[in-house]
Chain A
């Protein structure tokens, strides 16, 4: 029973890896088709002009005492834009074909990510049932559970924070993690050592996994923010029009920064909670709540770095460095996950 479930879990994880790879291809296709898109400035100008017309119309109807619903303005914008696009030459029509196709590839990418997430979730759950415990007692399980949580966090916040520009980097990231997990880190199912048998472990590690996955999204956003900010500075310096590159399609550096902040600011209290739960667990298991074990030390370093990130955002003169700080903090987090397990021995090195 449990060996059957264990191999079922392995199959789920492998299937998820393949689906993520396909999802990444779809997102790559999305960018390939939007590559040639004309400058954002031009379409924005076009939009602004149509919008002005619409709001004038709305004003006129308001003045006439009619109660035309303001909502309809949104609809009204769409139609003229489509007409304008359609009314221009064949080149423009080709462009709109391309962007339709890009949108389709984008949707396929998200759908495949969703499927991969479901498969991965099944893999994590069957693994847990096979081992008869929570599935995170070694690096392999941490990796599959972590990538599951990252993709869940991505899918949940996708619409709310409009993260669709993260499709390609996220699927790429998941593919790398799952690839490493299934090849290098793979560990067959086994039980837990006694120090790990506690519900505080479940609480501590679930909080850490959730925080880690959201921090991961935040770090990807911060990385893109740095690239985008550099691109923006380059464009301003050279006066060039935005090239049809991946970067040109990203939201503005400022907007990405705000998204990164929201993600990190969500994850930070969760991480704080994981830290506290970990201390409570350590007190029960080892008779001291804090002992500067390497794992604890790095958890603390990560926490301090993210606190510095939050501070830097409201410190004059540091605003431009926050993404860098976020990446340093994420580096500390990664080192704790990987480096400490492999290079430094301590009570926690059970991987």
Chain B
């Protein structure tokens, strides 16, 4: 930790060296991989994410973005210029996290190498003055120096310290009685896992990002609206919305097919949350590939269908009123359900019915479906409850040319009115009608009739594959494990030195906690410690890191021979 700090301080030098492209490159690299840069990049990443949560995002909700652009055309031009509708896929956002990634690797790989060295090296030998360490004790004992040394070694090893015994060299042998140097000593270190955890955490972050990248390159996601009773075959033409990664081709779509047999939904009928869905689910018949056996699946929220490497999620539902339209010749020109899109929480839904087969002129209808129709004084017809308690449709009609033949793709939820004329009632007002299930109405001018046969429901399915997700998950779990290790494990060094004075054995023990870089090594004096015990001085109480260290030393001390007789502070 101290090494990092020193390294950072050195690299944080404000002025680049005078010249030389190599020096410059080295300087830039050191800047990039410094803690300070990592910190700034982290802040930048947080800051850059903010607009993505405030400005509507295409990736999250394209409809809202389209509305926003229509409402604020000028502003939107600027937003678009800076990619503010796609913050998380803009080059500048990518630049930040890629720089962070490089910085991270540039920081972590050398640290890993360094830690490898540290782990293979022996614990540093006891410093000259043990009493200058943040936690220390010393006492005399009747046990022989060899016994004391052996006991210390055993104790530390039992606590899973890595232990090295240093015998005194000739010059320092029989040093002063103060126990500050000379004599045999034990050097012990523990908590190598802390740094390993830290490295694991950072490497795992890279793994998560790799998983995300793989997912967006090799994955696909699409949505399809399927009316209950109808089927869906997994080909690109059957999707309403579809996006896939750059390295995914449509041929790779798994060839499954499914039929939506039933759909069930229950709504809250009481209380403040009246009208919110309590439960919904669809029953599917699934064939994994053409010719494979059919299996039934109960598709519910939080309970996706897994088929052939893809996942099918139920993400929405709505109503498809059923109509039968007869044309001016009296022929049935259309019959079946037409999906209407819900506009509010009470499922007031809008939609259009296109009848290209009607003769002599094509017919089109536009209007809304209300599952529980009421007439509001101010807003007109509206729905009061999302379930179909009192369903009704409200329509206006058109005749002419639907514009379907010119080949241009057209939304099934909108009428192109350029070559259509609206039916008029006898008073010249637009012709309107309201139908309840089973009712029919004649169109003006003998253009035919329309029957509202009832309603069916539809479900919105999301079909997706994300091969990167398991990788990202493994990365995330490793990151969590590494994080826990790096925060929980304490890196400690303990030294025990045994000397002889006046025929007795003097044992000195000291420790250093290298875990918290902010924890400046400092002497906790006897006075302070007693004060803490007396509860009199609050300040001394909260040096928890040191308190833990002191406690550990106390515990070790307690198991060493002759620890009862303390050598006074002044004698150390």
Contact = CB atoms under 8 A, between A and B. Distances in A.
Interface in B443-477: 462, 464, 466, 469, 472-473, 476-477
Contact of B530 (A73, A161, A294, A300): A73
Given A194-B300, A272-B483, A308-B46, A317 B36 contact: yes
A305 interface: yes
B539 A255 contact: yes
Contacts of B116: none
Given A285-B301, A301-B46, A258 B519 contact: yes
B480 A161 contact: no
A185 interface: no
A11 interface: no
A81 B315 contact: no
Contacts of B309: none
> Of residues A276, A287, A290, A304, which shows the largest number of chain B Cβ atoms within 10 Å of its Cβ?
A287
Contacts of B480: 269, 272-273, 276
- Main secondary structure on A side of the interface with B: helix
Contact of A190 (B88, B272, B311, B516): B272
Contacts of B304: 284, 287
Contacts of B53: 292, 294, 297-298, 301, 340, 344
Contacts of A286: 313, 315, 462
Interface stretch (A17-25, A55-63, A106-114, A115-123): A55-63
A256 B449 CA distance: 80
Interface stretch (B128-136, B224-232, B562-570): B562-570
Contact of A191 (B9, B88, B278, B462): B278
B431 to A, nearest CB: 37
B324 interface: no
Interface in B397-423: none
A309 B476 CA distance: 20
A283 interface: yes
A193 B542 contact: no
Contact of B536 (A43, A65, A189, A250): A43
Contact of A58 (B5, B545, B568): B568
Q: Which of B54, B517, B541, B566 has the largest count of A CB atoms less than 10 A from its CB?
A: B566
Query: Counting chain A CB atoms within 10 Å of each CB, which of B42, B278, B472, B480 scores highest?
Result: B42
A304 B518 contact: no
A262 B519 CA distance: 12
A165 B542 CA distance: 11
Contact of A193 (B88, B277, B527, B537): B277
A319 interface: yes
Contact of A315 (B35, B59, B526, B531): B35
Given A297-B53, A318-B39, A287 B311 contact: yes
Contacts of A188: 271-272
B302 A276 contact: no
Given A47-B527, A286-B315, A195 B45 contact: no
Given A194-B301, A284-B304, A315 B8 contact: yes
A288 interface: yes
Contact of A301 (B49, B280, B464, B517): B49
Contact of B278 (A40, A54, A193, A332): A193
Contact of B565 (A54, A67, A308, A318): A67
B563 to A, nearest CB: 9
Interface string A186-215: 011111111101101000000000000000
A39 interface: no
A316 interface: yes
A78 to B, nearest CB: 5
B59 A291 contact: yes
A195 B483 CA distance: 30
Contacts of B537: 40, 43-44, 47
B277 A194 contact: yes
B464 A251 contact: no
Contact of B568 (A55, A276, A284, A318): A55
Nearest to A160: B544
A38 interface: no
A69 B444 CA distance: 109
Contacts of B527: 47-48, 51-52, 55
Contact of B39 (A70, A189, A311): A311
Contacts of B81: none
B234 to A, nearest CB: 15
Contacts of A238: none
A197 B484 contact: no
Contact of A198 (B279, B302, B313): B302
A62 B59 CA distance: 76
Contacts of B466: 288-289
B533 interface: yes
Given A161-B544, A191-B278, A313-B518, A269 B487 contact: yes
Interface in A155-192: 161-162, 165, 187-192
Contact of A258 (B4, B303, B545): B545
B268 A317 contact: no
A62 B35 contact: no
Given A191-B278, A311-B35, A165 B530 contact: no
Contacts of A43: 536-537
A46 to B, nearest CB: 9
Given A81-B534, A313-B517, A59 B49 contact: no
Contacts of A65: 565
A66 to B, nearest CB: 8
B555 to A, nearest CB: 14
Nearest to B64: A345
Given A47-B527, A51-B530, A258-B518, A289 B469 contact: yes
A315 B53 CA distance: 30
A104 interface: no
Given A51-B530, A276-B480, A297-B52, A308 B43 contact: yes
A43 B212 CA distance: 60
Interface string A229-271: 0000000000000000000011110011111011001101100
Interface in B298-347: 300-304, 311, 313, 315
B110 to A, nearest CB: 16
A287 B313 contact: yes
Interface in A31-52: 40, 43-44, 47-48, 51-52
Contacts of B531: 44, 47-48, 51, 77
B538 interface: yes
Greatest chain A CB density within 10 A among B45, B50, B53, B566 is at B53
A257 B541 contact: no
Interface string B1-31: 1001100110010000000000000000000
Nearest to A336: B53
Interface in B141-191: none
Contacts of A200: 302
Contacts of A255: 538-539, 541-543
Given A48-B527, A194-B279, A272-B479, 16 more contacts: A47-B527, A51-B531, A55-B527, A55-B569, A77-B534, A188-B271, A192-B278, A193-B276, A255-B543, A269-B487, A272-B483, A276-B480, A284-B302, A284-B303, A304-B42, A312-B39
Interface of A: 40, 43-44, 47-48, 51-52, 54-56, 58-59, 62, 65, 67, 69-70, 73-74, 77-78, 81, 161-162, 165, 187-195, 197-198, 200, 249-252, 255-259, 261-262, 265-266, 268-269, 272-273, 276, 279-281, 283-294, 297-298, 300-301, 304-305, 307-308, 311-319, 332, 340, 344, 346
Q: For the complex of A and B, list the 6 residue pairs with the smallest distance between their C-beta atoms, beginning with the closest.
A: A59-B568, A287-B313, A74-B533, A255-B542, A190-B273, A297-B53
26 contacts: A47-B534, A65-B565, A67-B564, A74-B533, A81-B534, A161-B544, A190-B276, A194-B280, A194-B302, A198-B302, A251-B538, A251-B539, A251-B542, A256-B542, A259-B544, A269-B484, A269-B487, A286-B313, A287-B462, A289-B466, A292-B57, A294-B54, A304-B43, A307-B42, A315-B39, A316-B35
